[in-house]
Chain A
Amino acid sequence: MSGERLLTIDSLSVTFGGLDALKNLDFHVDEGEIVSVIGPNGAGKTTFFNMISGMVAPTAGDIVFRGESLLGFDPNQVTARGIARTFQNVRLFANMTILENVMVAQHCRTKQGVFGALFNTPGFRREEEEIRAHAEKVLGFFGTRLIGYRLHQPASVLSYANRRRLEIARAMATKPTIILLDEPVAGMNPKESEELTGLIGKLRSEWGFTIVMIEHDMNVVRDVSDRVVVLDHGETIAQGSFEEVSTDPEVIEAYLGRPVEGAS
């Protein structure tokens, strides 16, 4: 399944004050992979995402995407190079409509400026058409939930699950190579998360995205991941297929704790 090496992370560390949020992390993603990052709360998973997407600068180490180091790039430059993300605590543009949320995400893929807008040039109109068409195509991926009369409703009226879907749609609209999903099914009921699991598979098979996902729901992780990386206290403690990882004693210890000495 996996193709060319897309993203390589080389002994990445970040320190907040005296706290090592991440320590010498090595990580890689190949094209077409679905990689899950799991770990107990506070393991540094979201920091890891923030660092890839340029929101937090690492203290040491390197992030290489397609042979180019991403260090020192602003988040928008990272996105422009093809890494999009969603947020754990859904952060939509709540007062913009659903359509606008997805249209605005195509900013870095389009280029019409003040001149085109003022004189309504053919180029401007064509680009607006394309933006809109792509937006509707992306929203259509989630069935009828986000299209139709919904297009022009503000994002704030959406249900929780639909907000999560719209976040994914917004990330898709940036035309990325890799999508970083930060707990995509958190807070969803079993049925919804099962459905979304299917959609994550389709993100790869139909749209060709490579996916790195943080998730706590082990059913989802098991169903879609090619590879699972386990973080604890900012370090990789295990890596491999779901079966390998789930039987790893160190992982079990990280999640459940060590048995008390002497207690039979």
Chain B
Amino acid sequence: MTAHLESGTHEVIPARGGLDQNWRKLLRYGGLLALVLVFVSLIGMPVKLDSRIVVEPYISMGYLSLLWLPALLGYTVSAEKVLEGMASHARGAHELVAGAIVGLVGGAGLALLIWGLDTRDLSDPLVNWGDNLLGLLTFNETVGYGMLVWLGISTGLGLLGGLLHLLPRTATRAVLTALLAVFLVSALESALDDISEGFRLEWLFEWLFEARGGLTPKGAIAVAVVAAGYVVFGRSRAKAVRQRYDAMPTVERTRANAALLVLAGVAVVVLPMFLGKLTNELLANVGLFLLLALGLNIVVGLAGILDLGYVAFFAVGGYTTAILTSPQSPGLSPELPWLVALVVVIGMATLAGLFIGAPVIRMRGDYLAIVTLGFGEIIRLTVRSDWASGLTGGAQGITGIPGAGIFGVAEVRGIDPQAVFYLVAFFCAVAIYVSWRLERSRLGRAWMAVREDESVAEAMGINTVNVKLMAFVVGAILASFSGAIFAAKVGSVFESSFKILVSIVILVVVIVGGMGRIAGVIAGAVVLIGVLGGPNQPGLLAEFSEFKLLIYGALLVWMMLKRPEGLIPNVRRSRELHQEEFLQDAWLRGQVDADEEGNTTGGATA
């Protein structure tokens, strides 16, 4: 069970008895489970998602939104950190009982809800309180039946969660991966449909999925087996490859990186040709937000300036393009070609960056965040105001923006998402190159120093005001590119597209992905925008769009607690966040120099 701990310092003491429990903790977890189950039911997730089938005819996503919770909490209630050198209990009946009790308490909460639904009417404040929910929870049977079944299901799932502790690690991982794979494959049904057409794999798709939607039972089993098989047989091989990569000397690794980069580039160019309209549209949206996130990553990740009004620069790019290119722009209407407008956009973004940055940059930390938040809204409200509506169209916005003509070679517009994607991908590549070069330059080092300790950076001769302004302007220009493409893609701009929520979503992308690391930002954009969807853009899980912000929030909280450095972290940042563990590891490897070292090599400096 403790195969991951080779050292002999780890001591296992006999399992605790089944009734030797920390009852207070069980009640706390059970209560939490009950609350979450009731909450999820009342926000309407089960009813809304019931039409979406995961495995036909057994389970729908609506039921799934409730079912995973008892198992999760049944597992976490007895999860404990196994520390090297510390004694830990062997696993046994103790874990099973704990899981079952948590499940039972949670199930009781749900049973109470069923009883309440049946006897009271609270549909006034709680819009989802009603017969739909009751019918779903009682399986259209009697109330008593529903209550009993949920007690049983919840207890059983809690027990299963506890059971995971008793399985060997590989088995646990295989089970979880298989379940996750089944869920993901079924959730991505529409995207897979789209992709399979491009690759002439309709036969596989039809075998996996029912015509009405949902995986077929045999399809689900196949997916589960493949996923579990990967964990059992493929994972160790993947790990070996990874280790070999880590062990490579610098030159070879650079070469491997270059090869991977070329491969990724080819994939970006070739893949969209095989993908359908839907997937390309999705990729284009991911690209737009990725471009924004890469820009914000320079401002927040590298220079450490928490900018909550980043959407302002997106708006500047969008509106400048709209005014300059659209024949229907109300005031000024030069009808410039897109590329010419883009040059003006760069200028405007620089001006906006300086204009907003100059007063803001002298502040630090929280103060700066609040002021940028204000400026973000000021730009949007100015655009909407009567005063500016002669130029910006006020709340009516500007419509009729022509597509982006690229040297007469191509005309990029919204109806052709593949072209939009290529355009966005080009600018993302530019942004990645810019981030990569700047990070390793004099300016990048200065940004890092400012982020670490602004006063010391200044005392070391860095003009912090200039350096921070520079970060602001580079970030502004990248955001304005995104805005310019957005305007050409959508064909119209309205102030409502530039709400504060956009700033927040971009920041979440950067934080969840991994602040200060380009690969992290890409991962964040793909996961959040691609899978869940942007503020106004649908993602792969279009059904979840109503609950998108809830999931964003939950994800962010979970990330902050469990993995504050992001999905693919920047080495420096994770060091910062796990300073103590890092130092301890370094000490174990003998890399920290001890203070005594000065004595032993006393005269070496001569």
Residues of A within 8 A of B (CB): 53-55, 74-77, 79-80, 84-85, 87, 91, 93-96, 100, 103-105, 107-110, 112-114, 116-118, 120, 124, 127-128, 131, 141-145, 150, 153-154, 156-162, 170, 174, 188-189, 191-192, 195, 199
Q: Is the CB of A79 within 8 A of B442?
A: no
A105 to B462, CA, bound (A): 8
Q: Which residue of B lies closest to A108 (CB)?
A: B461
Q: Is the CB of A157 within 8 A of B592?
A: yes
Residues of A within 8 A of B604 (CB): 143-145
Set A117, A118, A192: member contacting B442, Cβ < 8 A: A117
Chain B 566-606 near chain A by CB (<8 Å), digits 1 or 0: 00000011011001001100100001111101110111111
With known contacts A95-B452, A157-B591, A76–B461 Cβ distance under 8 A: yes
Residues of B within 8 A of A113 (CB): 442-443
Residues of A within 8 A of B597 (CB): 145, 159, 162
Residues of A within 8 A of B464 (CB): 76
- 7 new A-B pairs (CB below 8 Å) besides A104-B449, A118-B437, A145-B605? A93-B449, A117-B437, A142-B605, A143-B601, A144-B604, A145-B597, A159-B597
Set B441, B463, B605: member contacting A199, Cβ < 8 A: B605
With known contacts A94-B452, A95-B575, A107–B462 Cβ distance under 8 A: yes
Residues of B within 8 A of A108 (CB): 461-463
Cβ-based interface call for B13 (8 A): no
Q: Is the CB of B586 within 8 A of A160?
A: no
Q: Is the CB of B591 within 8 A of A174?
A: no
User: Which of B453, B463, B604 lies at the interface centre, i.e. has the most chain A CB atoms within 10 A of its CB?
Assistant: B463
A153 to B444, CA, bound (A): 18
A174 to B459, CA, bound (A): 10
Q: Is the CB of A189 within 8 A of B437?
A: no
Residues of A within 8 A of B603 (CB): 195
Size of the chain B interface, CB-CB below 8 angstroms: 49
Residues of A within 8 A of B442 (CB): 107, 110, 112-113, 117, 127-128, 131
Set A75, A85, A116, A156: member contacting B575, Cβ < 8 A: A156
Residues of A within 8 A of B459 (CB): 53-55, 75-76, 79, 85, 87
With known contacts A117-B443, A189-B599, A195-B598, A96–B448 Cβ distance under 8 A: yes
Q: Is the CB of B458 within 8 A of A76?
A: yes
User: Which of A103, A131, A153, A159 lies at the interface centre, i.e. has the most chain B CB atoms within 10 A of its CB?
Assistant: A159
Q: Which residue of A lies closest to B597 (CB)?
A: A159
A55 to B457, CA, bound (A): 12
A128 to B437, CA, bound (A): 13
Residues of A within 8 A of B583 (CB): 156-157
Name the distance in Å between B122's Cβ and chain A's nearest Cβ.
Answer: 52
Q: Which residue of B lies closest to A86 (CB)?
A: B459
Name the distance in Å between A76's Cβ and chain B's nearest Cβ.
Answer: 5
Chain B 555-572 near chain A by CB (<8 Å), digits 1 or 0: 000000000000000001
Q: Is the CB of B452 within 8 A of A96?
A: yes
11 chain-A/chain-B pairs, Cβ below 8 angstroms: A55-B459, A95-B576, A96-B449, A104-B448, A107-B462, A117-B444, A120-B437, A144-B601, A157-B593, A159-B594, A162-B593
A196 to B461, CA, bound (A): 25
Residues of B within 8 A of A (CB): 433-434, 437-438, 440-446, 448-449, 452-453, 455-464, 470, 474, 572-573, 575-576, 579, 582-583, 586, 591-595, 597-599, 601-606
Q: Which residue of A lies closest to B466 (CB)?
A: A76
Residues of A within 8 A of B438 (CB): 114, 117-118
User: Which of B437, B438, B474 lies at the interface centre, i.e. has the most chain A CB atoms within 10 A of its CB?
Assistant: B437
Name the distance in Å between A87's Cβ and chain B's nearest Cβ.
Answer: 7
Q: Is the CB of A191 within 8 A of B452?
A: no
A118 to B474, CA, bound (A): 12
Residues of B within 8 A of A192 (CB): 598-599
Residues of B within 8 A of A75 (CB): 455, 458-459
Name the distance in Å between B364's Cβ and chain A's nearest Cβ.
Answer: 15
Name the distance in Å between A95's Cβ and chain B's nearest Cβ.
Answer: 5
Residues of B within 8 A of A105 (CB): 460-461
Name the distance in Å between A141's Cβ and chain B's nearest Cβ.
Answer: 8
A154 to B433, CA, bound (A): 25
The 3 closest A-B pairs by CB, nearest first: A108-B461, A143-B605, A117-B441
A65 to B284, CA, bound (A): 58
Q: Is the CB of A96 within 8 A of B460?
A: no
Q: Is the CB of A74 within 8 A of B456?
A: no
A124 to B442, CA, bound (A): 9
With known contacts A96-B448, A112-B441, A159–B460 Cβ distance under 8 A: no
Name the distance in Å between A55's Cβ and chain B's nearest Cβ.
Answer: 7
Residues of A within 8 A of B458 (CB): 74-76
Residues of A within 8 A of B582 (CB): 156
Name the distance in Å between B49's Cβ and chain A's nearest Cβ.
Answer: 43
Name the distance in Å between A108's Cβ and chain B's nearest Cβ.
Answer: 3
Name the distance in Å between A142's Cβ and chain B's nearest Cβ.
Answer: 6
A112 to B441, CA, bound (A): 9
Q: Which residue of A lies closest to B586 (CB)?
A: A157
Name the distance in Å between A66's Cβ and chain B's nearest Cβ.
Answer: 17
Residues of A within 8 A of B463 (CB): 74, 76-77, 108
Q: Which residue of A lies closest to B473 (CB)?
A: A114
With known contacts A114-B474, A143-B604, A79–B461 Cβ distance under 8 A: yes
A188 to B595, CA, bound (A): 9
Q: Which residue of B lies closest to A187 (CB)?
A: B595
A116 to B443, CA, bound (A): 10
Residues of B within 8 A of A107 (CB): 442, 445-446, 449, 460-462
Q: Which residue of B lies closest to A167 (CB)?
A: B456
User: Which of A85, A95, A103, A109 lies at the interface centre, i.e. has the most chain B CB atoms within 10 A of its CB?
Assistant: A95
User: Which of B434, B598, B602, B604 lies at the interface centre, i.e. has the most chain A CB atoms within 10 A of its CB?
Assistant: B598
Q: Which residue of B lies closest to A153 (CB)?
A: B591
Q: Is the CB of A191 within 8 A of B598?
A: yes
A191 to B599, CA, bound (A): 7
A174 to B573, CA, bound (A): 26
Residues of B within 8 A of A80 (CB): 461
Q: Which residue of B lies closest to A116 (CB)?
A: B441
Name the distance in Å between A23's Cβ and chain B's nearest Cβ.
Answer: 25
Q: Which residue of A lies closest to B599 (CB)?
A: A191
A105 to B453, CA, bound (A): 13
Q: Is the CB of B598 within 8 A of A159?
A: yes
A150 to B586, CA, bound (A): 13
Name the distance in Å between B242's Cβ and chain A's nearest Cβ.
Answer: 21
Q: Is the CB of B445 within 8 A of A104?
A: yes
With known contacts A117-B442, A154-B575, A87–B456 Cβ distance under 8 A: yes
Residues of A within 8 A of B462 (CB): 76, 104, 107-108
Residues of B within 8 A of A95 (CB): 448, 452, 572-573, 575-576
Set B440, B455, B460, B598: member contacting A170, Cβ < 8 A: B460
A154 to B572, CA, bound (A): 8
